[in-house]
Amino acid sequence: MRIDILTLFPDMFQGPFSESIIKRAVEQGHVEIVLHDIRDYSTDKHRRVDDYPFGGGAGMVMQIEPIDRVISKLKGEREYDEVIYMSPDGKRLDQKIVNQLSLKGNLIILCGHYKGVDQRVRDNFITMEISIGDYVLTGGELAAAVVVDSVVRLIPGVISDETSALSDSFQDNLLAPPVYTRPAEYKGWKVPDILLSGHEAKIERWREEQALERTKRLRPDLLGEDQA
Ligand code: ADE
């Protein structure tokens, strides 16, 4: 998989992509993440990429030309499955969307800033708009990092224990069951006996029951039930 990220602040990705599982996924060649500074595609001598909104109003708007130049260049080099714009107006990210994106080959992710991008970018280049929740961030970078993190961990081979991704919260519209590790007792707080029993089938059933109970209690909306 290849993910091209178009941003005004490429350094914002240094943190999230230079540690842990995503870093290893890149090193092992499971994913190529390429950052593009949109300013490099400005034709302005001051590298400007934004301008005042037509019709007036507060805030600046990201101009179409630099974005067109970088997207057109990339599309001339390879095919892309989706051109995603990170925006609070977009479809709310959930595990279903993450699963679908993890099966794609090449993605472009555009991060907005200021008042957003010229509408003509959205109308002519964007195939999918994604929001990570009903709140407004200062820009799309943190949201893009969330998308990349959640998608990359699903690429086969990225998480060494493949079943661990399958038993994630949300995979069956259920939250994950509780987990424990050693010591079996700490300050009098005990691990449930069943997990120490060695009885695989019973443990599996217990986990399913726990997942269902947790989901009913904490996220009944996932089961199509009203939230308490
Ligand atoms: N950009 C600003 N806020 C955002 C959000 N909630 N989701 C995705 N992109 C954003």
Q: How many CA atoms lie within 13 A of 183 on its CB side?
A: 6
Q: Is 116 in the pocket of ligand 1 (CB under 6 A)?
A: no
Interval 88-102 mean pLDDT: 96
Same domain assignment for residues 146 and 180: no
What's residue 176's pLDDT? Answer: 95
The pLDDT of residue 228 is above 90 = no
Q: Which of 8, 86, 122, 129 to mutate to test the pocket of ligand 1 (most atoms within 8 A of CB)?
A: 86
Name which residue sits closest to atom 5 of ligand 1, judged by CA. Answer: 88
Mean of the per-residue pLDDT values for the chain?
95
Taking the alpha carbons at both ends of the chain, their separation in whole angstroms is: 41
Rounded-to-integer distance, Cα 104 and Cα 1, Å: 7
Same domain assignment for residues 116 and 175: no
Name which residue sits closest to atom 2 of ligand 1, judged by CA. Answer: 137
Ligand 1 atom closest to the CA of 87, numbered from 1: 9
Same domain assignment for residues 14 and 92: yes
Q: Is 83 in the pocket of ligand 1 (CB under 6 A)?
A: no
Q: Is residue 97 part of a domain?
A: yes
Q: Is 7 in the pocket of ligand 1 (CB under 6 A)?
A: no
Q: Which of 84, 87, 109, 111 to mutate to test the pocket of ligand 1 (most atoms within 8 A of CB)?
A: 87
The pLDDT of residue 109 is above 80 = yes
Structure token digits, residue 55: 């019709």
What's residue 87's pLDDT? Answer: 97
Interval 123-144 mean pLDDT: 98
Same domain assignment for residues 138 and 87: yes
Give the structural domain span for 182: 167-223
Rounded-to-integer distance, Cα 115 and Cα 53, Å: 9
Q: Is 134 in the pocket of ligand 1 (CB under 6 A)?
A: no
For the chain, give the secondary structure using H, E and C: CEEEEEECCHHHHHHHHCCHHHHHHHHCCCCEEEEEEHHHHCCCCCCCCEECCCCCCCCCEECHHHHHHHHHHHHHHCCCCEEEEEEEEEEECCHHHHHHHHCCCEEEEEECECCCECHHHHHHCCCEEEECCCCCCCECHHHHHHHHHHHHCCCCCCCCCHHHHHCCCCCCCCCCCCCCCCCCEECCEECCHHHHCCCHHHHHHHHHHHHHHHHHHHCHHHHCCCCC
- The number of distinct structural domains making up the chain is 2
Same domain assignment for residues 17 and 44: yes
Q: Is residue 161 part of a domain?
A: no
CA of 7 to the centre of ligand 1 (A): 13
What's residue 216's pLDDT? Answer: 97
Structure token digits, residue 78: 């390879």
What's residue 171's pLDDT? Answer: 75
Phi, psi of 182 (to 5 degrees): -65, 150
CATH of the domain at 86: 3.40.1280.10
What's residue 168's pLDDT? Answer: 78
The pLDDT of residue 163 is above 70 = no
Same domain assignment for residues 67 and 99: yes
Picking from 103, 118, 152, the residue at the C-terminal end of a domain is 152
CA of 106 to the centre of ligand 1 (A): 22
Same domain assignment for residues 191 and 91: no
Picking from 124, 152, 180, the residue at the C-terminal end of a domain is 152
The pLDDT of residue 214 is above 60 = yes
Same domain assignment for residues 44 and 111: yes
CA of 176 to the centre of ligand 1 (A): 26
Interval 80-107 mean pLDDT: 97
Interval 113-127 mean pLDDT: 96
Picking from 103, 124, 152, the residue at the C-terminal end of a domain is 152
Same domain assignment for residues 17 and 107: yes
Same domain assignment for residues 173 and 89: no
Q: pTM for the complete prediction?
A: 0.93
Rounded-to-integer distance, Cα 199 and Cα 21, Å: 32
